Amino acid sequence: MGWLRTILGAVFGSGRNVIAETAEVFRPNAEAADAREAAFQQAALSQMAAEFTGGGGWWAQLVDGLNRLPRPAMAFGCIFLFASAMHDPIWFAERMQGLALVPEPLWALMGAIVAFYFGARELHKFRGSSMQKEAARIIAQAPAVARNVATLRALRHDSPGAADPGPDAEVALAAIEVTDNPALADWKRAA
């Protein structure tokens, strides 16, 4: 019996449990892991509570207020664009023609800023040669955009010559051709 006591004493003796200590090498102690997790959650909650205590003075409150502006500003800006497209389509089309001149890398940069602001992690590859190609595309497209803007402005109801028939002789003759107009005849009789 002495030899069994010696072996069990070596394994479980002197306040140690060699089997449990060996098992913890392969699987963490659940009780200790729960204690660490609880301490981590308590620290995270304390940090979050410290952010909302209202301290820090007027500057911190101003910066906090400014940090809350972009999301509603973007939402209301999109709603404004839809409303302006319905209210004044020509004004809206002029602005969209201006946006056609924005280079792709700048759109990518704007997209990355918005994506990072809203929490997404996005990586865009940028090469110098793509910027040169984009600059050449914009330079080639600029005259067409300028013509489109001029055409859109000519379509406004208050622009000079909006009713001009142009070089089309049939339209010009049709515009000055006298036809029977009962409303005009009634107006002339009344005057």
- pLDDT tens by residue, 59-70: 888 887 887 888
pLDDT tier at 54, thresholds 50, 70, 90: low
**Of all helices (H) and strands (E), which one includes residue 12?**
helix 2-12
Q: Which domain holds residue 42?
A: 2-53
145 & 101 share domain: yes
User: pLDDT, tens digit, for every residue of 62-117?
Assistant: 887 887 888 888 889 989 999 999 999 899 999 989 888 888 889 889 888 887 77
- The answer to the question of residue 24 being in a domain is yes
Query: Is the domain of 47 the same as that of 99?
Result: no
Q: What residue spans of 88-127 are helical by DSSP H?
A: 89-99, 104-117
Residue 189 lies in a domain: no
Single out the residue of 86, 81, 96, 88 nearest to residue 149, CA to CA: 96
Q: How many CA atoms lie within 13 A of 73 on its CB side?
A: 7
Q: What is the pTM of this model?
A: 0.38
Query: Is residue 106 in some structural domain?
Result: yes
Q: Are residues 46 and 100 in the same domain?
A: no
Shared domain for 152 and 105, answered yes or no, is yes
Both 45 and 103 in one domain: the answer is: no
68 lies in a domain?
no
